[in-house]
Amino acid sequence: MSYLELRNLQKRYAKDGPLIVDNMNLSIEKGEFIVFLGPSGCGKTTTIRMISGLEDVSGGDIIVDGESILQKKPRDRGVSMIFQSYAIWPHMTAFDNIAYPLKLQKTAKDEIKKRVEAAAQAAGIEMLLKRYPAQMSGGQRQRVAVARAIVVKPRIFLMDEPLSNLDAKLRVSMRSELKRIHLMEHSTTIFVTHDQAEAMSLADRIVIMYRGKIEQIGAPMEIYRDSATYFAASFIGTPPANFFDICIEKTGEGYSAVNEHIRYRLPASLKAALAPWEGRKAVLGIRPEFIELSPGREKTPGYLCDAVIDFIEPQGNHSILITRIGGMEIKIVAPDSTNVTVNTPVSLNIKDEQVMFFDPDTGIRIR
């Protein structure tokens, strides 16, 4: 049995209202760092609030270490939650903020001092214990919130977009700190975000959520390279995947994905999966780094179409090239050394059969 299990978990805010969390099933192992990733309103924060006891459960169960926690009060669940807004007391020093949950538990003063200092050291704020929040930066206040969560030695950490109020540079450094603390504490952690860079850098596994349901669960690169649904493919990746509405057409001994602007001959590896789709519509997905430019107009077996480069966005060690195909903006990631300028006519070829096809009605990957 997994350490934390969500079994057919449901949440409605009104008796006959829509399911905000729709029969969610998830198993999490002890010590895992899980990231809930999805757009606003998909149910990620509601889910962790149900785990913490801050929201009532409409249906299903939450099992921790083999025991249902639904009837337990929040303080008895062994869960610590870190909020987006820090939620630290402005009239208390960092020491008193961190010590607060221990005081509620009537912990001995010597033990409080020992545990607060240990938590502060883990969060890297031992020199700030006498300061008030107004005397700290945003990153320091967030570290106080992290230390307060650590100090009670919870079974589970829940983090609700804890880095969203920080500037870009500080977010990156705090990501590393949170991962370091997680590894040091061997904690079981659920981290909520809509930022895919945070998800990719922090997670052991990502849970992609959409409209209250789980779209896909997997390691970061597994989800990136092998997206199970159209939504997962479109939500993860920067720049996002390019998509084309196509029809599967029989061409000689094989098949091609075609519309009025592109014609891509399907590799033999996809023939069996897409043969039943002959004459039917599908969606072709290609990640930007898997499109190769040929300024010499060379057409490889992965030839897609011809195009003209409209814009170039330098990114340092690579560039994002933008073109339009059939009125749709298409982005291509190319090495910075690529000798292409604006208005250059090129041929676009797909590398190494790196394509995805999706059912346009269900959004599910065609395999």
CATH number at residue 98: 3.40.50.300
Residue 168 included in any domain: yes
Nearest to 296 by CA among 286, 306, 311, 310: 306
Token readout for 226 is 């092998």
CATH number at residue 331: 2.40.50.140
pLDDT at position 337 is 65
Give the pLDDT of residue 306.
94
Task: Specify whether 183 is located in the same domain as 263.
Answer: no
Domain boundary among 202, 235, 268: 235
Please tell me whether residues 230 and 275 are part of one structural domain. Answer: no
Residue 101: domain span:
4-235
Which residue type is seen at 113?
K
Establish if 364 belongs to a structural domain: no
Q: Is residue 226 part of a domain?
A: yes
User: Which pLDDT score is estimated for 165?
Assistant: 77
pLDDT for residue 216: 97
**Identity (one letter) of the amino acid at 247?**
C
61 belongs to a structural domain: yes
- Same-domain status, 204 and 256: no
Q: Are residues 70 and 120 in the same domain?
A: yes
Q: Across the strands, what pairs with 205?
A: 34
341 with 265, same domain?
Answer: yes
Q: In terms of domains, do 274 and 222 share one?
A: no
Q: How far lies 104's CA from each of 83, 107, 108, in Å?
A: 19, 8, 11
**Final residue of a structural domain among 235, 254, 282:** 235
The answer to whether the CB of 77 falls within 8 A of the CB of 64 is: yes
Report which of 229, 337, 338, 351 is spatially closest to residue 287, judged by C-alpha positions: 351
End position of a domain, from candidates 219, 235, 251: 235
366 within a domain of the structure (yes/no): no
Pairing mode of beta strands 79-82, 156-160: parallel
Task: Find out whether 3 and 67 touch, Cβ atoms under 8 Å.
Answer: no
Question: Is 198 inside a domain boundary?
Answer: yes
In a domain, 365, yes or no: no
Q: What residue ranges of the chain have pLDDT lower than 70?
A: 1, 337
State whether 333 and 196 are in the same domain. Answer: no
Total domains in the fold of the chain: 2
Residues 70 and 184 reside in one and the same domain: yes
Are residues 227 and 103 part of one domain? yes
Asked if residue 93 lies in contact with residue 46, where contact means CB atoms within 8 angstroms, the answer is no
For 23-79, the pLDDT digits (tens) are: 999 999 999 999 999 999 999 999 999 999 999 999 999 999 999 999 999 988 989
Q: Is-above-0.75 flag for pTM? A: yes
Residue 247's DSSP bridge partners are 258, 281
Residues 192 and 261 in one domain: no
> Which pLDDT score, from 0 to 100, does residue 272 have?
92
229 touches 365 (CB < 8 A): yes
Residue 60 backbone class (left: φ over 0; alpha: ψ -120 to 50; beta: rest): left
Q: Same structural domain for residues 141 and 50?
A: yes
In this prediction, residue 88 carries a pLDDT of 87
The reply to whether 367 falls in a domain is no
Where do the H-state alpha helices sit in the chain? 44-52, 94-104, 109-123, 138-151, 168-185, 196-202, 220-225, 230-235, 271-274
Same domain? 319 vs 340: yes
Closest CA to 358 of 208, 227, 230, 217: 230
